[in-house]
Amino acid sequence: MQNQTTTLLVIGAGPGGYVAAIRAGQLGVPTVLVEADRLGGTCLNIGCIPSKALIHAADEFDRVRHLAEGDGSGVAMGIRTKSPRIDIAQTVGWKDAIVTRLTGGVGALLKKHGVTVLKGWARILDGKTVEVQGEGEPVRVSCQHLLLACGSEPVELPFMPFGGKVWSATEALSPASVPQRLVVVGAGYIGLELGTAYRKLGAEVSVVEALDRILPNYDEELTRPVAAALKRLGVHLHLATKVLGMNAAGDAVLVRNADDAESEIAADAVLVAVGRRPRVSGWELERLQLDMQGAFIKVDDRCATSMRAVYAIGDLTGEPMLAHRAMAQGEMVAELVAGKVRRFDPVAIPAVCFTDPEVVVVGKCPPEAGPECLSATFPFAANGRALTLSAAEGFVRVVARRDDHRIVGWQAVGRGVAELCTAFSHSIEMGALLEDVAGTIHAHPTLGEAVQEAALRALGHALHV
């Protein structure tokens, strides 16, 4: 068995792990990064990036198809086209090329900063020692600091295990063909993002949700435009409905509605998207006997666990399970190991749902903010740029304290609003007041003008509504 020593050992090369390793390398900290699969983890390989690529391809195909069908969406602009079709194999190849480019870039950055990458499965021996089993002989790595960044995995339904017609998001992102009938189990952001994409690619899509509304983690004012768009697309929603499993023939999903009536929904494929769980088993984490918080590893504001010099970041440590949270935590841990003084204490972490229309939430929503806060919305129907993009549906909403007008939350729903979340985060993190945003000149014509107008409306003098 080979033996190595290092200052920092990182298990998991997802967004949190590879960012931690790169930053540690930049700071001159000897670092070893262990990854059983591909660099980039779930996000780059089978999550954030490939899903957005597939969503974009579906959007483009849907737009061209509607123009060809002469449904009126392009007639006014004078656009006409004929007989578009989707070559899903080529689409998947295009998506995979983007993933390969990004993961290759991660590898180059790790090499540039002197990080040693070990490909293999990590097995924890103790808080200072990890054994890595790859294709060759095992490697035993001893470290001064251990960082756990193993991410999460999709939740599998015990009565509907993954395999064959039953997909996780992984299989949904690399289909051999577009199924004629797709049933999506779960109306959270993953289920609706991919369900919408498949509907635009031509599948008949049914979404089954046990709760009585879609996107249950978002307030109803934000989800209402999404529900309307799903209806226009022809997505069939089965709310307050429980999945019981596949039928005996394996060609339909058995469901039970709120009235206890059972029925079948025909399915050529079933996407199960009922959530994700931390990946805490399979690598002998239990040897460390760390304090846990439910299913997650308990950490403090330095991402330190209950064992000295052992850190955990990202999805292992709880909600929100977002790549950008893991990245920020990973960077911080690297700097702590290098001797810097840091804390993980963001004022707000942005969350984006890439449905059509998109949904953005940063900070507090009105129900959470309470009566001591005020809120105001500005509709995209009154925004010139939105009208030129045929994206008049949706709005921007601001939440601020009544007493000093300090902004505590932003939300938006509409086409392209994901690109507004940086401005939202900046204003909250920097302690901006409504007057600060209202008094900042915003470029015209842009969707960002709705941000200024929402602040103006909260102050009682919006200009364009």
Question: What are the residue numbers of the active site?
Answer: 444
Nearest one of 377, 384, 381, 385 to 451, comparing CA atoms: 377
Residue 463: Cβ within 10 Å count: 12
Residue 254 near residue 262 (C-beta atoms within 8 A): yes
Residue 403 near residue 372 (C-beta atoms within 8 A): yes
Taking the C-alpha atoms of residue 206 and residue 144, their distance in angstroms, rounded to an integer, is 51
Taking the C-alpha atoms of residue 403 and residue 370, their distance in angstroms, rounded to an integer, is 13
Largest Cα–Cα separation, the chain: 72
Tokens 């289909």 found at:
175
The DSSP secondary-structure symbol of 197 reads H
Taking the C-alpha atoms of residue 228 and residue 382, their distance in angstroms, rounded to an integer, is 19
Q: At residue 459, what is the residue type?
A: L
Nearest one of 42, 47, 82 to 66, comparing CA atoms: 82
Residue 42 near residue 152 (C-beta atoms within 8 A): yes
Taking the C-alpha atoms of residue 235 and residue 244, their distance in angstroms, rounded to an integer, is 21
DSSP string, 288-349: G---EETTEEP--TT-B-SSTTEEE-GGGG-SS--HHHHHHHHHHHHHHHTT-------S--
Taking the C-alpha atoms of residue 186 and residue 192, their distance in angstroms, rounded to an integer, is 8
CB-count burial class (<10 Å; 0-12, 13-18, 19+) for 452: buried
The DSSP secondary-structure symbol of 271 reads E
**What tokens were used for 7?**
């200052």
Helical (H) or strand (E) element with 384: helix 384-388
DSSP string, 11-76: E--SHHHHHHHHHHHHTT--EEEEESS-TTHHHHHHSHHHHHHHHHHHHHHHHHHHHHHT-STTTT
